[in-house]
């Protein structure tokens, strides 16, 4: 397809149509779909609907085929529709939610999750996925932390890149490969007070140093699209923000792919108070560099007027449309508009046995053991199961609309399948409903497993909470269980770090998040010891809501609190410590690892040199296990205040029972810089602190000097 020639043949209205994205029910009325936003009447006539360039959300191959067929019949130039959808952590084989995926600290595993998701999604004719979400997060009240990779810029980078590689697999023209749309550009994760869609206010320096890394890495990995955020940056909605869309994205990052608004977010600039009406919003959108408008109609209804008035707008329109058509061409849609959509293939590819087996492995690595007073693993013991998640199959979590929880095993079923002895089950969360007979049964068990948590609807988009303890009074269930004198293992199902101070009476606490299609099989294997837990947190767990935002890579302040030194006039709280309950990088294993003998190949490095840090990790236990060894750096003195520590590398290594591994990390110049407020890399000489450890609050350190010659 000759795109330049095609452009010449299109009318202005046809061009503008390419920038319109609509839900499939506009084309075929009886299609069912989940939309993440209100469905407002779009005041579109049939002619305009059939000018649209892309579709948001599609169910299955048959639906895609019928929408595409109907569309192409009416379309003058037979330009195929491009189908996009939220394939966030799997299509029908559901993998752990992204926050859980990040707790694997396993790049290639995450890449394969995206690969399988693409292969399955493509059978429905999906061409673009609205993933990865690379929003750095610091506030667990925000429901969308469940979709994120946590609080660290380095991990954002590694995992966003892995997902793009997995989805696109270097060549989006092939069947089984989908284009990645990284989102939400930018800094949506900083929604004030954790309330979704709320305003964002941050410095350019923090934007550049903390919040952009994931989007940038996705673009560098070749992501074909980027979605704007709902929030403002410097007071200007991201959807019409020239600084973001032109200066950062096009000029600094040389992005030549397609930009898309979030659902209705171009229209919403009116509510932001940055446009009087859709007509003005359309002008601001095209001037800023917004290509596709999702689920609102500012462009389709108003852009023609602007084009007529101002030839520069026509140039901008042409650029945007060309980008969209090039993406369609790159996806191979002009050759085959139904690419991938295959009703028969769909049946044998989705939920293939090897996909499910892999989903179980991923789930095993996502689970984080938070506490274990010699209670786990439960081997050959009589188990009583209580709490709502004892019998619930809801392990898919938010954003899994193609997945079906009914296919999943409940915890009870998974225990039974694994041959464990379950002597009592009660899904109630309310201690008042447990009578004497129940208590008798519970006392007969060796261990009580309390399966508790949030519902799927308590995290995710538009699902923020201001109190983030266990909901529905489930804390009382744990307190009650402990009064019976048995060991109590609390198994948590939830989409965010919760406040867990009140359930510390539990003998063991296991954070499982939402682990997907094979979640409970994985959880049982961990509880019974078949699998050794290895997940580590990527978000700090606060002790109370007042500590939020709490994150490990904070600045030092001018009056830092130094543990052990009593001083009233420093930065601290009267009523709670500065430290999190469970820090970034934290997670227990059934093995015991000791870190010893940190050394550096040299304590001085120049710009052209690399030095090597080594450390010995000793597994003192009789179980082999994975350990995630983390390397942090601190730049003591710089032109701007730098964080007290920043993750710069990690290794996930299997260490055999009673054995030692020496782990090495190269320290290179690019780990020592920071960004100025324009995004330029700055390297300053001086002293750095090297820290290696099992989590952010358990490190061994030594200093070295970086010299610029």
Contact track, ligand NOJ, 630-669, x by CB under 6 A: ----------------------------------------
Rounded CA gap, 392 and 383, in Å?
A: 17
Of 499, 551, 457, the residue nearest 136 (C-alpha): 551
582 binds ligand NOJ (CB under 6 A): no
Least distance in Å: CB of 129 to ligand NOJ?
9
Strand 232-233 relative to strand 293-294, pairing: unpaired
Least distance in Å: CB of 262 to ligand NOJ?
5
The closest residue (CB) to ligand NOJ is 130
Least distance in Å: CB of 461 to ligand NOJ?
5
Rounded CA gap, 462 and 465, in Å?
A: 10
State both tokens at 151.
């609080």
Q: Which of residues 535-574 bind ligand NOJ (CB under 6 A)?
A: none
State both tokens at 343.
């009703």
DSSP letter at 463? Answer: -
463 binds ligand NOJ (CB under 6 A): no
Contact track, ligand NOJ, 351-370, x by CB under 6 A: --------------------
Rounded CA gap, 111 and 170, in Å?
A: 12
Rounded CA gap, 237 and 490, in Å?
A: 43
- Coil/strand/helix, residue 80: coil
Rounded CA gap, 322 and 111, in Å?
A: 30
Torsion 637-645-105-660 (CA) sign? positive
How many residues lie near ligand NOJ (CB under 6 A)?
9
Rounded CA gap, 203 and 207, in Å?
A: 6
Out of 91, 130, 159, 626, which residue is the one contacting ligand NOJ (CB under 6 A)?
A: 130
Q: Within 13 Å and on the Cβ side, how many CA atoms surround 345?
A: 14
Least distance in Å: CB of 40 to ligand NOJ?
14
Identity of the residue, 480 or 514, whose beta carbon is nearer to ligand NOJ in the bound complex:
514
DSSP letter at 133? Answer: B
Least distance in Å: CB of 402 to ligand NOJ?
13
Task: Write the DSSP string, 318-373.
Answer: HHHHHHHHHHHHHTTTTT-TTTT--HHHHHHHTT-HHHHHHHHHHHHHH-EEEEES
Identity of the residue, 36 or 545, whose beta carbon is nearer to ligand NOJ in the bound complex:
36
Contact track, ligand NOJ, 87-126, x by CB under 6 A: ----------------------------------------
Q: Which of residues 207-266 bind ligand NOJ (CB under 6 A)?
A: 262-263
Identity of the residue, 86 or 394, whose beta carbon is nearer to ligand NOJ in the bound complex:
86
Identity of the residue, 36 or 49, whose beta carbon is nearer to ligand NOJ in the bound complex:
36
Angle between the N-to-C axes of helices 353-366 and 519-527, in degrees from 0 to 180, rounded to the nearest 10: 50
183 binds ligand NOJ (CB under 6 A): yes
Tokens 């938070």, located at residue: 370
Identity of the residue, 462 or 707, whose beta carbon is nearer to ligand NOJ in the bound complex:
462
Of 279, 289, 280, 281, the residue nearest 265 (C-alpha): 281
Least distance in Å: CB of 549 to ligand NOJ?
21
- Residue 435 annotated as catalytic: no
Identity of the residue, 84 or 320, whose beta carbon is nearer to ligand NOJ in the bound complex:
84
Find the angle CA(181)-CA(182)-CA(186) to the nearest 5 degrees: 135
Rounded CA gap, 97 and 458, in Å?
A: 14
Least distance in Å: CB of 400 to ligand NOJ?
13
Least distance in Å: CB of 333 to ligand NOJ?
20
Rounded CA gap, 620 and 14, in Å?
A: 69
Out of 135, 454, 461, 525, which residue is the one contacting ligand NOJ (CB under 6 A)?
A: 461
Out of 14, 86, 278, 394, which residue is the one contacting ligand NOJ (CB under 6 A)?
A: 86
Q: Which helix (H) or strand (E) holds 56?
A: strand 54-56
Identity of the residue, 130 or 434, whose beta carbon is nearer to ligand NOJ in the bound complex:
130
Identity of the residue, 56 or 522, whose beta carbon is nearer to ligand NOJ in the bound complex:
56
DSSP letter at 466? Answer: S
Out of 3, 6, 36, 49, which residue is the one contacting ligand NOJ (CB under 6 A)?
A: 36
* Catalytic choice (86, 135, 152, 262): 262
Least distance in Å: CB of 144 to ligand NOJ?
8
Strand 54-56 relative to strand 82-85, pairing: parallel
Burial of 440 (0-12, 13-18, 19+ CB in 10 A): exposed
Identity of the residue, 34 or 171, whose beta carbon is nearer to ligand NOJ in the bound complex:
34
Out of 17, 24, 37, 643, which residue is the one contacting ligand NOJ (CB under 6 A)?
A: 37
Q: What share of the chain is helix, strand, coil (3-state, %, to 5)?
A: 35, 20, 45
List residues near ligand NOJ by CB under 6 A.
36-37, 56, 86, 130, 183, 262-263, 461
Question: Which residues are known to be catalytic?
Answer: 262
């Amino acid at each position: 397809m000759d795109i330049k020639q095609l452009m010449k043949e299109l009318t202005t209205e046809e061009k503008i149509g390419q920038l319109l994205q609509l839900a499939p029910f506009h084309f075929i009325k009886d299609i069912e779909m989940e939309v993440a936003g209100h469905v407002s009447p779009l005041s579109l006539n049939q002619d305009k609907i059939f000018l649209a360039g892309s579709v948001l959300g599609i169910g299955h191959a048959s639906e895609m085929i019928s929408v595409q067929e109907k569309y192409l019949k009416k379309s003058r130039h037979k330009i195929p529709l491009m189908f996009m959808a939220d394939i966030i952590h799997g299509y029908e084989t559901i993998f752990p939610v992204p926050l859980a995926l990040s707790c694997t600290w396993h790049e290639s595993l995450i890449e394969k999750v995206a690969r399988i998701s693409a292969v399955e999604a493509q059978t429905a004719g999906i061409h673009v996925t609205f993933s990865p979400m690379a929003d750095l997060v610091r506030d667990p009240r925000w429901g969308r932390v469940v979709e994120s990779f946590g609080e660290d810029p380095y991990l954002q980078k590694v995992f966003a890149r892995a997902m793009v590689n997995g989805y696109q697999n270097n060549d989006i023209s092939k069947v089984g490969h989908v284009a990645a749309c990284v989102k939400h550009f930018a800094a949506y994760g900083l929604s004030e007070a954790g309330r979704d869609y709320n305003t964002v206010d941050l410095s350019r320096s923090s934007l550049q140093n903390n919040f952009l890394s994931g989007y940038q890495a996705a673009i560098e990995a070749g992501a074909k699209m980027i979605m704007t955020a709902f929030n403002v940056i410097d007071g200007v909605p991201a959807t019409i923000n020239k600084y973001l869309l032109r200066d950062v994205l096009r000029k600094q990052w040389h992005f030549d792919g397609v930009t898309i608004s979030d659902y209705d977010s171009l229209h919403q600039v009116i509510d932001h108070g940055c446009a009087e009406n859709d007509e003005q919003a359309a002008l601001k959108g095209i001037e800023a560099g917004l290509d596709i408008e999702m689920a609102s109609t500012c462009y389709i209804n108003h852009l023609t007027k602007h084009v007529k008035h101002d030839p520069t707008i026509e140039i901008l329109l042409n650029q945007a449309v060309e980008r969209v058509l090039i993406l369609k061409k790159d996806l191979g849609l002009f050759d085959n508009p139904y690419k991938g959509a295959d009703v028969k293939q769909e049946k044998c590819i989705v939920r293939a046995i090897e996909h499910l087996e892999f989903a179980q492995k991923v789930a095993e690595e996502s689970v984080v053991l938070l506490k274990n007073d010699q209670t786990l693993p439960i081997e050959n013991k009589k188990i009583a199961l209580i709490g709502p998640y004892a019998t619930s199959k809801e392990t898919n979590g938010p954003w899994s609309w193609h997945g079906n929880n009914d296919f999943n095993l409940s915890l009870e079923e998974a225990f039974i399948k694994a041959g464990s002895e379950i002597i009592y089950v009660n899904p109630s969360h309310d201690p008042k409903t447990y009578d004497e007979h129940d208590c008798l049964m519970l006392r007969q068990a060796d261990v009580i497993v309390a399966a508790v948590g949030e519902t799927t609807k308590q995290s995710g988009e538009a699902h923020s909470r201001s109190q983030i303890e266990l909901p529905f009074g489930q804390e009382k269930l744990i307190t009650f269980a402990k009064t019976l004198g048995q060991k109590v293992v609390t198994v948590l199902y939830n989409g965010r770090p919760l406040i867990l101070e009140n359930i510390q009476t539990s003998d063991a606490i296991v954070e499982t998040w939402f682990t997907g299609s094979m979640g409970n099989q994985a959880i049982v294997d961990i509880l019974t010891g078949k699998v050794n837990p290895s997940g580590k947190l990527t978000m700090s767990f606060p002790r109370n809501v007042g500590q939020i935002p709490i994150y490990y890579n904070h600045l030092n302040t001018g009056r830092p609190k130094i543990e052990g030194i009593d001083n009233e006039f420093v930065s601290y709280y009267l009523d709670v410590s500065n430290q999190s309950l469970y820090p970034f990088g934290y997670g227990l294993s059934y093995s015991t690892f000791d870190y010893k003998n940190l050394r550096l190949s040299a304590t001085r490095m120049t710009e052209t040199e690399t030095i090597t840090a080594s450390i010995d990790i000793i597994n003192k236990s009789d179980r082999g296990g994975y350990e995630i060894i983390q390397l942090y750096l601190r730049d003591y003195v710089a032109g701007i205040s730098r964080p007290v520590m920043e993750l710069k590398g990690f290794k996930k290594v299997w260490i055999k029972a009673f054995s030692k591994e020496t782990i090495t990390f190269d320290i290179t110049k690019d780990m020592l810089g920071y960004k100025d407020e324009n995004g330029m890399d700055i390297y300053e000489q001086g002293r750095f602190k090297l820290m290696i450890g099992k989590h952010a609050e358990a490190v061994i350190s030594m200093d070295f000097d970086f010299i610029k010659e």
